[in-house]
């Protein structure tokens, strides 16, 4: 998706003004996309006194069309980079819960315990409200032995938080992306779309 620099999260954090825009055709879904400038944000944040809380303060203090951001939306989902950086710390400090999407591959397992430890560490040091909300097995391919092994291993260690719904692997996902569309819009009745809807229900059921 082509991002107008003025409508990016970087600009929003720097200027303290949010301009999320409505994503057609989904009623009620607003986006505030990332942009390449975020690479520089890391450095810009590192000198600030309350550098862990820049995103949290932004979310708490920003108005959108005269109403504050937090009461405008039922949910705010923040897509995080996979690595632990000051940006990730900001996201964890601004959040109430963490959902971890997990690719059914071995290397994904390796980082998982570290990530869970990090979430606990942030909870203790910065954000007591933070909760590990769930893990989702992504790119699930029942014909692949590795998928079963990874799923079993994850459930062995984190049984109580793994969502029952798995997201199947399908080329339709990258196909939809190549058209710049979410899979739910591109093929609403596809098994991946059905899985995402089921996941949303399961998510709501855990609130
Ligand atoms: N269910 C799926 N089936 C097949 N391919 C998928 C599926 N989900 C995602 N992909 C493909 O995997 C790639 C990465 O997906 P995505 O961007 O969602 O992952 P990510 O973990 O957020 O990556 P990044 O770390 O770069 O942010 C994309 O090319 C996408 O098309
Ligand atoms: Mg990503």
The enclosing domain of 22 has a CATH number of: 3.40.50.300
Task: Please check whether residue 36 lies inside any domain of the structure.
Answer: yes
- pLDDT band at 110, cuts 50/70/90? confident
Q: At which residue do the structure tokens 């400090």 appear?
A: 93
User: Among all ligands shown, which has an atom nearest to the Cα of 141?
Assistant: 1
Task: Please check whether residue 58 lies inside any domain of the structure.
Answer: yes
pTM for this one? 0.91
The three-point CA angle 49-31-180 to 5° equals: 130
User: Among all ligands shown, which has an atom nearest to the Cα of 140?
Assistant: 1
Model pLDDT for residues 60-88, shown as the tens digit of each residue? 988 888 888 888 899 999 999 888 899 99
Task: Please check whether residue 60 lies inside any domain of the structure.
Answer: yes
Q: How far is the CA of 54 from the centre of ligand 2 (A)?
A: 21
- Whether residue 136 has its Cβ less than 6 Å from ligand 1: no
Please give the average per-residue pLDDT across 26-35, as a whole number. Answer: 85
Task: Please check whether residue 56 lies inside any domain of the structure.
Answer: yes
Say if strands 30-31 and 21-22 run parallel, antiparallel, or are unpaired: antiparallel
Tally of structural domains, the chain: 1
Q: Are 140 and 196 in contact (CB under 8 A)?
A: no
Residue 136 pLDDT: 97
Please give the average per-residue pLDDT across 128-146, as a whole number. Answer: 95
Atom 26 of ligand 1: nearest residue by CA position: 81
User: Among all ligands shown, which has an atom nearest to the Cα of 138?
Assistant: 1
Domain, as residue range, for 54: 1-95
Can you tell me which atom of ligand 1 is nearest the CA of 138?
1
Q: How far is the CA of 79 from the centre of ligand 2 (A)?
A: 6
Task: Please check whether residue 135 lies inside any domain of the structure.
Answer: no
Task: Please check whether residue 63 lies inside any domain of the structure.
Answer: yes
Model pLDDT for residues 87-102, shown as the tens digit of each residue? 999 999 999 999 999 9
Model pLDDT for residues 156-199, shown as the tens digit of each residue? 999 989 999 999 999 999 999 999 889 999 999 999 999 999 99
Does residue 1 register a pLDDT over 60? Answer: no
Task: Please check whether residue 173 lies inside any domain of the structure.
Answer: no
Task: Please check whether residue 119 lies inside any domain of the structure.
Answer: no
- Whether residue 169 has its Cβ less than 6 Å from ligand 1: yes
| String of DSSP letters for the chain | ----GGGSHHHHHHHT----EE-TTSTT-EE----TTHHHHHHHHHTSTTGGGHHHHHHHH-EETTEEHHHH-S-------SS--HHHHHHHHH-SEEEEEEESSHHHHHHHHHHHHHHHHHHHHT-TT-EEEEEEEESB-TT-HHHHHHHHHHHHHHTTTB-S---B--HHHHHHHHTT--HHHH-TTSHHHHHHHHHHHHHHHT-
């Amino acid at each position: 998706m082509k991002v107008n620099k003025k409508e990016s999260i970087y600009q929003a954090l720097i200027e303290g003004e949010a301009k999320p825009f409505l994503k057609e055709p989904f009623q009620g879904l607003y986006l505030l996309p990332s942009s390449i400038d975020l690479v520089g944000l890391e450095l810009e944040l590192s000198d600030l006194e309350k550098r862990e809380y820049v995103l949290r303060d932004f979310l708490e203090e920003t108005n959108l069309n005269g109403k504050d951001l937090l009461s405008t939306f039922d949910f705010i989902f923040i897509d995080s980079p996979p690595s632990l950086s000051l940006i990730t710390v900001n996201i964890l400090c601004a959040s109430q819960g963490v959902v971890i999407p997990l690719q059914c591959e071995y290397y994904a397992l390796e980082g998982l315990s570290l990530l869970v430890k990090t979430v606990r560490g942030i909870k203790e040091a910065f954000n007591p409200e933070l909760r590990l909300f769930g893990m989702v097995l992504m790119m699930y391919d029942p014909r692949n032995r590795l998928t079963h092994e990874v799923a079993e291993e994850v459930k062995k260690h984190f049984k109580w938080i793994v969502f029952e719904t798995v997201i199947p692997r399908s080329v339709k996902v990258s196909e939809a992306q190549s058209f710049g569309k979410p899979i739910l819009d591109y093929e609403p009745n596809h098994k991946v779309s059905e899985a995402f809807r089921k996941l949303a229900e399961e998510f709501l059921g855990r609130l």
